[in-house]
Amino acid sequence: MIRFEKVSKAYPGQARPALNSLSIDIQKGEFVFLVGQSGSGKSTALKLMLREQRPTTGRVYVAGKEINRLAGWKVPRLRRQVGTIFQDFRLLANKTVAENVAFAMQVTGHSNREIRQRVPETLELVGLDGKGDRMPDELSGGEQQRVAVARAFINRPMILIADEPTGNLDPGNTVGIMRLLDRINRSGTTIVMATHDVQMVDQMRKRVIELEHGHLVRDQVQGGYGAQF
């Protein structure tokens, strides 16, 4: 589903590359944590999957396509197949919860009838039943991140990319969001999540890819212990 072949990324003016000959292979339906200290290259790797950045050398494949060879007009279609969530939620502050989620369906050309049906279903799925008319700033951080998850998931993307989605959340809300992501993963969506919450990663039995200064230093399936969410 996602494949990096000897991918390096050097930003202009930086002494060392953000990613250094990174090769990884992520299968359909996997849940993968990308870990490593701040500055190790996690966000850069995720941006390359979305073609928000391009590799300096090497190849990035998403869903069988080498995405850096995609024509520019095909990039929006790629991004529609990949949901994203971020540490800072990135909700539209002047739209209600339901409007924020509906917006993702409007830009992909769904009918109002489909939107009216799917938005409440998805809000229920993420545990925000009845909160569709609230404004984002009337919700807790954990609830705002649930809105972002609903928005990312409503078009049923093949892949969900999450960059430190629990970075602003307390432990209780972190567990809630992880349960939700696990449920989404079980429905078949491939998930790649960057985090530096080592304790949380240890509690989930998932594959862990660790970066250090842009190098791959660990790629393992955790097994045998820990709580299964």
The distance of closest approach from Cβ of residue 174 to Mg ion in the complex, given in angstroms and rounded to an integer, is 17
- How would DSSP label each residue in 123-182? HHHTT-TT-TTS-GGGS-HHHHHHHHHHHHHTT--SEEEEESTTTTS-HHHHHHHHHHHH
Task: Give the nearer residue to ligand ADP in terms of CB position, either 43 or 84.
Answer: 43
Going from the C-alpha of 34 to that of each of 2, 99, 117, 118, 196, the distances in angstroms are 13, 31, 35, 31, 8
The distance of closest approach from Cβ of residue 90 to ligand ADP in the complex, given in angstroms and rounded to an integer, is 16
Contact 2, 78 (CB under 8 A): no
Quote the CA–CA distance of 176 and 184 in Å, as a whole number.
13
The distance of closest approach from Cβ of residue 42 to Mg ion in the complex, given in angstroms and rounded to an integer, is 5
For tokens 């292979």, name the residue: 25
Query: Applying CB under 6 A, does 43 fall inside the site for ligand ADP?
Result: yes
Query: Applying CB under 6 A, does 38 fall inside the site for ligand ADP?
Result: yes
Options 25, 27, 28, 39; binder of ligand ADP; rule CB under 6 A: 39
Query: Applying CB under 6 A, does 40 fall inside the site for ligand ADP?
Result: yes
182 is written with which tokens? 């696990």
Query: Applying CB under 5 A, does 190 fall inside the site for Mg ion?
Result: no
Task: Give the nearer residue to ligand ADP in terms of CB position, either 44 or 84.
Answer: 44
Task: Give the nearer residue to Mg ion in terms of CB position, either 3 or 196.
Answer: 196
185 is written with which tokens? 């993963």
Within 42-71, the residues that bind Mg ion by CB under 5 A are: 42-43
Task: Give the nearer residue to ligand ADP in terms of CB position, either 115 or 208.
Answer: 208
Task: Give the nearer residue to Mg ion in terms of CB position, either 30 or 88.
Answer: 88
Burial 112-151 (b: 16+ CB within 10 A, else e): eeebeebbbebbebbebeebbebebeebeebbbbbbbbbb
Options 36, 83, 136, 176; binder of ligand ADP; rule CB under 6 A: 36
Size of the site for ligand ADP (CB under 6 A): 11
What are residue 34's DSSP bridge partners? Answer: 194, 209
Which range in 15-23, 36-44, 103-111, 173-181 contacts Mg ion by CB under 5 A? 36-44
Binding residues vs ligand ADP (CB under 6 A): 11, 14, 18, 36, 38-44
Binding residues vs Mg ion (CB under 5 A): 42-43
